[in-house]
Amino acid sequence: MPFVGCGFNRELVDILTSMTKGHVIRYGGKPIMARYHNTCGGKISSAKDVYGVDEPYHIAQSDLLEGKGSENCFHSPGFHWSIELQKVDMLDFLSMSFAGGAERIYNSWEPEKVDSSGRIYQVTLRGRIPKSISGSEFHKNLMEYFGPNGIKSMKFTMEFLRRTIIFRGMGSGDGVGLCMYGADGLAKKAQKYYDILKFYYPGTEVK
């Protein structure tokens, strides 16, 4: 569900915009930083884990209505995904994205920390001098190098073959805040927009 710009508009969007004009999501009386992503893959991550910021309305939680049934975003084409990449391409990615001088040449990487949702939120780059970076920074570089249809999120497992690595993952994006396909799923379950916002931004109010 990408934003395609102001040049593409639909009547329904205009109607919904007019209906919600002046409505603000607040926490403790203050407007929030409303983070969102494409597909959570069944689990929302906290802003604390992914970005290292304390935003109490961005918590780790399951993407389930009342804790039961199927995940709200289960209908997303990005709920499950897999991609097979050449090992040499991953080495090229490390060189192009992170290398800088003789002491910053990395020949491998590994997950360092994983949150309760299964997302890798800290990565170690292995080389002469190892370096730890955030999962969000690592994923940003993955997206820039392999494109949007490559490794879609940091929620994945790896299978190492002779020349390739198979990544099997869930979700698309950082997994923090509102899941767009999840919001669509809740709307299809007859949930009101303000209830959907409160689900993904717990403890907030819309007014």
Strands 178-179 and 36-37: parallel
How far, rounded to the nearest angstrom, does the alpha carbon of residue 109 sit from its chain's CA centroid?
20
pLDDT at 1: 45
What is d(CA 199, CA 207) in angstroms, rounded to the nearest whole number? 15
Residues of the chain short of pLDDT 50, as ranges, are 1
Q: Indicate the SS3 state at residue 205.
A: strand
pLDDT at position 9 = 65
- Nearest residue to 79 (alpha-carbon basis) of 153, 144, 189: 153
Closest C-alpha among 2, 19, 10, 11 to residue 193? 19
Sign (positive/negative) of CA torsion 135, 93, 4, 78? negative
For residue 130, give both structure tokens. Answer: 């190892």
Note the pLDDT tens digit of each residue in 148-189: 999 999 999 999 999 999 999 999 999 999 999 999 999 999
Give residue 16's pLDDT. 74
d(CA 119, CA 44): 9
What is the CA angle 190-60-83, rounded to 5?
85
Query: How many whole angstroms from its chain centre is CA 201?
Result: 15
Contact 159, 165 (CB under 8 A): yes
The confidence score (pLDDT) of residue 15 equals 83
In the prediction, which pLDDT does 4 show? Answer: 56
